[in-house]
Amino acid sequence: MKMKIRRRLNFGFALLMIALMVIVVGCGTAAPQTTETPKPANPSVILATTTSTQDSGLLEVLIPAFEKKTGYKVKAIAVGTGAALATGEKGNADVLLVHAFTSEKKLVDNKTAINYQLVMHNDFVIVGPSSDPAKVKGTKTAVAALIAIAASPSIFVSRGDDSGTDKMEKALWTKAKVKPVEAKYQSTGQGMAQTLTIASEKEAYTMTDRATYLSTKKNLKLDILLQGETALLNIYHVMQVNPEKFPNVNAAGAKAFVDFMIDGETQKLIGSFGKEKYGQALFFPDAGKKMEDIK
């Protein structure tokens, strides 16, 4: 009889221990949580940006990530930086992502733009036919390269669209103190991808951001002939259009986009973009840095 009682007690104790373990395990396991996409009151955000962010494919990665995280819907206007800044100056965009420091600074100084943040950089390169008739590959600076091109029978194709690339190219011609012969200097008035295509067809030289060149390289007969000069750094900033000047802009949406672009996860996304497809990053993340730290 005592044996039976003891067995029952042991069995009961075992059941009690199992029950306690279930409770402990249950308490230590959090119920799966589903994160719903927020629903902002004004979900539409107008982004004025450059053709390089679009032509490189970067926007195709960043915009869906931003929309999923915040619930905003982005309408991207991809034009030259000059046109993007002009859109902001008229209050016809909420946020700007551009790459022409001197022109950007004017909008910041006159309070048209606020929350001005460094985002990323890549660089400009000079490309041309592999035969390199102007012997650009033997030069050491962009200024020397342009002087060599101007002295040769070669054609130079310019964007001519007041973009960040166009502004940089024009500044380099000014430094070179050379005015290219009109017949050999052809302006497309188009974006970088189109300009590269035209330069390839004409066996001409042009200046391009590295990202757009790499993303379109397979369709071009152009090689990188000059690169790596500090003067050719291509630096991108993001900024809000000032709601105090333009009450109709989506200030909350613009701020959300700026915050997203400088967020650590987004910066990692930017830094890895292009590595798998092109074997190298197309942009380098810079949030939190100063411009003088970029090399």
Q: What is the pTM of this model?
A: 0.82
Task: Spell out the domain ranges in the chain.
Answer: 44-122+235-289, 123-232
Distance separating alpha carbons of residues 78 and 59, to the nearest angstrom: 10
Question: What is the SS3 string spanning 112-175?
Answer: CEEEEEEEEEEEEEEEECCCCCCCHHHCCCHHHHHHHHHHCCCCEEECCCCCHHHHHHHHHHHH
Q: Which of 125-129, 179-183, 243-247 has the lowest mean pLDDT?
A: 179-183
Distance separating alpha carbons of residues 162 and 87, to the nearest angstrom: 13
| CA atoms 71, 77, 79, 83: torsion sign | negative
Helix (H), strand (E) at residue 107: helix 101-109
Q: What beta strand segments (E) does the chain contain?
A: 44-50, 73-79, 95-98, 113-128, 156-158, 185-187, 206-209, 223-226, 233-241, 284-285
What's the pLDDT tens digit per position in 103-161?
A: 999 999 999 999 999 999 999 999 999 999 999 999 999 999 999 999 999 999 999 99
Mean per-residue pLDDT over the chain, rounded: 89
44-122+235-289 and 123-232: same fold? yes
Asked: is 123-232 a CATH 3.40.190.10 domain? The reply is: yes
Q: Which residues of 113-148 are buried (b: 16+ CB within 10 A; e: fewer)?
A: bbbebbbbbbbbbbbbbeebebebeebeebbebbbb
Structure-token match 């799966």, residue found: 32
For residues 221-228, average pLDDT: 97
Q: Report pLDDT for 8.
A: 44
- List the CATH code of the domain at 44-122+235-289: 3.40.190.10
Over 60: is that where the pLDDT of 26 sits? no
Residue 290, classed as helix, strand or coil, is coil
Distance separating alpha carbons of residues 106 and 238, to the nearest angstrom: 14
Nearest to 222, CA basis, from 238, 236, 206:
206
